[in-house]
Amino acid sequence: MKKILEITTVGITARAFLVPFFQELKEQGFEVTYASTPDFDAEETVKAAEVKFFPVPISRKISPSDLVSFWKLYRFIRKEKFDIVHTHTAKAGFVGRIAASLAGVPLIIHTAHGLTVHPGLSKFKKKLYLFLERYAAKRTKKFICVTKLVEDSLVEQGITEREKCVIIPNFAGPAYDPEKVDSARKAKLSSKLDLPKGAFLLTCAARLVNDKGLAESISSLTDLPKNVYLAIAGDGPNREKLQKLAELLRVSDRVRFLGWIDTFDMPALLSLTDVFIAATKREGFGVGIIEAQAMELPVVTSHIRPITDLLAPDSALFIDPQTKESTREGILQSVRELLRDEQKRKALSQKARENAQKYSLQNYRENVRAFIQRELR
């Protein structure tokens, strides 16, 4: 029986995306061990996938503690003599691959869940991250990319060759079905939202940073009817800034800052939503958009890759996110159109559901199974 070690920086990556991957590996006869920062999501992943767990704190930022993480992984990999090491995300990807290479692991795989080197970085960080990614790539036999854009970026930036890449898109889990929403979770979220009767709810789910169009989403409320509310699921460095913006624009009573929503609560939140907004300037995959579509929601999102690669042209309303003005105007005009045209909302809901079916759990597991049989045997 071949032994494989799966490594993520934090548990949410595995809990949200990788449990089916681990289960497929086990069904194909592999002995699976999972390593990650020991947090709640990692514990839940281990329970759900029924795999062995090796706790190793891995900082999300470059830190002197990375040397400790590296040493612990190196010693563990040498001791257990893994046949395969499979890393995920940037930090675990670098530390894990270097440790595996020096420990003599014959097969090292990395899944790129997004763009490590992107336009939002400073020149110094771009050069540093490119150097680190290229260094780790030389020790990597295969890359799994969640979108064609991720593959193209790896190749165009000289990180790896196209022949070493395979695309396995993410998925919307079976819980993202309007008919399967947990009533208790829905009641909990409804109470947290505390919306008046007749409210029309827009929802954003994102890290609270500059390039997610959140300020523009808040600003659009000033020109929308008073019954339109905005829920923001997520947290990040811009939370206080966004809260102050809502107060300044006198729409704070219509904005709900929900913080991070548990993975299993998201279907309940989406079931209470009328329109999903994802006005992002950059994206690695956009699984939240696919999940919203699986819940039959009209989606207003950015006309950028990889979103345009994943979504059928008639399955969403697209906006130009290049400037604050174009982002705000796009959100405003799209929401106005959906408010006045119920048939448009119904048509988008139907097309959204059809598009999301391409990213079902069944299709994901079939792709994973094919990859395992082709590359890991």
What pLDDT is attached to residue 279? 97
| CA distance from start to end of the chain | 11
Q: Which numeric CATH code is attached to 178-358?
A: 3.40.50.2000
Show the tokens assigned to 278: 């994802």
User: CB-based contacts of 148: which residues, under 8 Å, 6+ apart?
Assistant: 167, 305, 306, 309
CA distance 309 to 358: 12
In the chain, ranges of CATH 3.40.50.2000 domains = 3-171+361-376, 178-358
Q: Is the dihedral of CA 283, 289, 291, 293 positive or negative?
A: negative
pLDDT digits (tens, 9 = 90+) for 301-342: 999 999 999 999 999 999 999 999 999 999 999 999 999 999
266, pLDDT greater than 80: yes
Q: Higher pLDDT residue, 38 or 16?
A: 38
Taking 90 as the threshold, does the pLDDT of residue 258 lie above it? yes
The whole-number pLDDT of residue 120 equals: 75
Helices (H), 54-182: 65-80, 90-102, 123-137, 148-156
pLDDT in tens, 157-207: 999 999 999 999 999 999 999 999 999 999 999 999 999 999 999 999 999
Residue of 89, 96, 113, 4 lying closest to 49 (CA atoms): 4
Report the relative pairing of strands 165-167 and 84-88 from DSSP bridges.
unpaired
pLDDT, tens only, 53-93: 999 999 988 888 999 999 999 999 999 999 999 999 999 99
Q: Does residue 117 have a pLDDT over 90?
A: no
Q: Is the pLDDT of residue 119 over 80?
A: no
pLDDT of residue 60: 83
- Show the CA angle centred on residue 61, arms to residues 236 and 242, nearest 5°: 15
Does domain 3-171+361-376 bear CATH number 3.40.50.2000?
Answer: yes
- Residue 7: predicted pLDDT: 98
- pLDDT tier for residue 114 given thresholds of 50, 70 and 90: confident
Is the preceding omega at residue 306 within 30 degrees of 0, hence cis?
A: yes
Instruction: Give the chain's mean pLDDT.
Output: 95
- Give the DSSP per-residue string, 252-313: GGGEEEEESPPGGGHHHHHHT-SEEEE--S--S--HHHHHHHHTT--EEEES-TTHHHHS-T
Q: Which two tokens stand for residue 151?
A: 């593959």
Q: In what helix (H) or strand (E) does residue 347 lie, and over which residues does it extend?
A: helix 342-356
Residue 221 CB-half CA count within 13 A? 29
pTM: 0.90
Summarize pLDDT for 25-35 with one digit per residue, the tens: 999 999 999 99
At 63 the pLDDT is 85
Question: Per-residue pLDDT for 361 more than 90?
Answer: yes
Lowest mean pLDDT among 73-77, 121-125, 224-228: 121-125
141/120 Cα distance (integer angstroms): 28
Amino acid letter for position 286: G
Residues 108 and 100 sit within 8 Å (Cβ to Cβ): yes
**Three-state DSSP class for 186?**
helix
Measured CA to CA, the distance from residue 153 to residue 162 in angstroms comes to: 10
Q: How many Å apart are CA 214 and CA 242, to the nearest integer?
A: 8
Query: Which residue's structure tokens are 């082709």?
Result: 374
Please report, rounded to a whole number, the percentage of residues in the chain having pLDDT higher than 90: 91
